[in-house]
Amino acid sequence: MRIAIIGQQDFGRATLKAFLERGDIVAGVFCAPEKTGGRPDPLRLAAEQAGLEVFQPGSLQTDYAREMLRKLDVDLGVMAYVLQFAPPDFVSIPRHGMIQYHPSLLPRYRGPSAINWPIIRGDTHTGLTIFRPTDGLDEGPVILQREAEIGSDDTLGTVYFDRLFPMGVAALLEAADLAVSGRASAVTQDESAASYEGWCRAAEARINGHNHVDQIYNLIRGCNPAPGAWTSFKGRKLQLFDVRKHPTRTVSQVRSKVGAVTEVGHGMFVTAHGGHIEVLKVRYDEGKKLSAAQFCAELGVTTHTQLGE
């Protein structure tokens, strides 16, 4: 089949590679513009290395974007990690329309941070959806879905890179075949079951030390590696990454103030309601990630040190 890929970053690159390796014709690639001085887009680099035509319109709603897509004369558009709005008069140009990847089981968790929120909310499973894009946000009819487990110790990184990333590339290949062959279903999403979540950014990743240990633990792993759940130490941001959850172990720890460090060793134990968070890796004041043991040694953190004030 002859396709256009619309996407960015590593997921877009992996999708491009998968279609090329199985012999499909990629007529062109659309990427979002890159920020000056920012990291080069891996999809753009891969497309250029493959000798493909690359377009980087500031918006997919422009005449330029529509004209370039028409010029490519493709059977299908494949949207692999797209944050730009794609209007109906753009997605309808390919002969068989477009398909889009979303990393949740739609209609649950519509929105841009769909991998973070199920982990933060303590869900035990998530998944991915390949759907037909419409003018609504992640609201189009569903072609196929795949479920994935969220283990009790999973993080954003493990759920995405170990499951939703490889499963998503395979699902796009399968859905593309269904769409071009005319065998793709189009199941309308159940609006009564729909939910929308906005970005999970620094404001949403701030730790409330008065929450239950389960909530804090889920927030940290749902923000690991990005955006990084955080508290404060000496008035500066302290991000917590690799952590373990422990029930309260001693009477003295039960009486400890929330946010207090109760033990320093290989990890740093911090008090929360109902238990303790053992922190293994941190980033302090926008520096490099380092072990909690190194952080404690360098910053003078000891038992009874208070975080979050």
DSSP single-letter state for residue 81? S
Asked if 220 and 244 count as a contact pair (C-beta separation under 8 A), the reply is no
Residue 287, domain member (yes or no):
yes
Per the structure, how many domains does the chain have? 2
Q: Are 281 and 291 in contact (CB under 8 A)?
A: yes
Q: What is the pLDDT along the chain (309 residues), one digit of tens a residue?
A: 999 999 999 999 999 999 999 999 999 999 999 998 889 999 999 999 999 999 999 999 999 999 999 999 999 999 999 999 999 999 999 999 999 999 999 999 999 999 999 999 999 999 999 999 999 999 999 999 999 999 999 999 999 999 999 999 999 999 999 999 999 999 999 999 999 999 999 999 999 999 999 999 999 999 999 999 999 999 999 999 999 999 876 545 556 799 999 999 999 999 999 999 999 999 999 999 999 999 999 999 999 999 997
Indicate whether 249 and 281 sit together in one domain: yes
| Spatial separation of the C-alpha atoms in residues 21 and 29, rounded to whole Å | 16
In which element (H, E) is residue 291 found? strand 289-291
In CATH, what number is assigned to the domain containing residue 272? Answer: 3.10.25.10
CATH number for the domain that contains residue 176: 3.40.50.170
Same structural domain for residues 32 and 86?
A: yes
List all residues 6 or more positions away from 26 whose beta carbon is below 8 Å from its beta carbon.
3, 4, 5, 16, 19, 20, 47, 50, 52
Strand order in the sheet with 142-149: 54-55, 25-31, 2-7, 76-80, 98-102, 125-131, 142-149
Tell me the residue range of the domain where 160 lies: 2-193
In a domain, 201, yes or no: no
Per-residue confidence (pLDDT) for residue 241, from 0 to 100? 98
With 0-12 / 13-18 / 19 or more C-beta atoms within 10 angstroms meaning exposed / middle / buried, residue 49 is: exposed
Taking alpha carbons only, the member of 272, 271, 278 closest to residue 240 is 278
Nearest residue to 85 (alpha-carbon basis) of 6, 3, 142: 6
Q: Which two tokens stand for residue 32?
A: 């979002």
First to last CA, the chain: 59
* Domain identity same for 221 and 133: no
Do the domain assignments include residue 63? yes
Q: Are residues 179 and 246 in the same domain?
A: no
- Please tell me the predicted confidence (pLDDT) of residue 122: 98
Are residues 218 and 188 part of one domain? no
Q: What per-residue confidence (pLDDT) applies to 247? A: 87
* Residue 141 confidence (pLDDT): 98
Is residue 208 situated within a structural domain? no
Burial of 30 (0-12, 13-18, 19+ CB in 10 A): buried
**Is residue 304, in this structure, part of any structural domain at all?**
no
Cα 5 to chain centroid distance, Å, stands at 19
186 with 225, same domain: the answer is no
pLDDT for residue 249: 62
> Does 306 fall in a domain?
no
Q: What is the pLDDT of residue 251?
A: 46
Same domain, 220 and 145: no
Check whether residue 100 and residue 232 sit in a common domain.
no
Name the token pair of 248. 């309260």
Judgement on whether residues 53 and 182 belong to the same structural domain of the protein: yes
Clarify whether residues 150 and 269 are in a common domain.
no
184 and 72 in a single domain? The answer is yes
For 103-140, the three-class secondary structure string (H helix, E strand, C coil) is CCCCCCCECCCCCHHHHHCCCCEEEEEEECCCCCCCCC
295 shares a domain with 155: no
Report the C-alpha gap between 47 and 135 in whole angstroms. 28
Of 131, 164, 193, the position where a domain reaches its end is 193
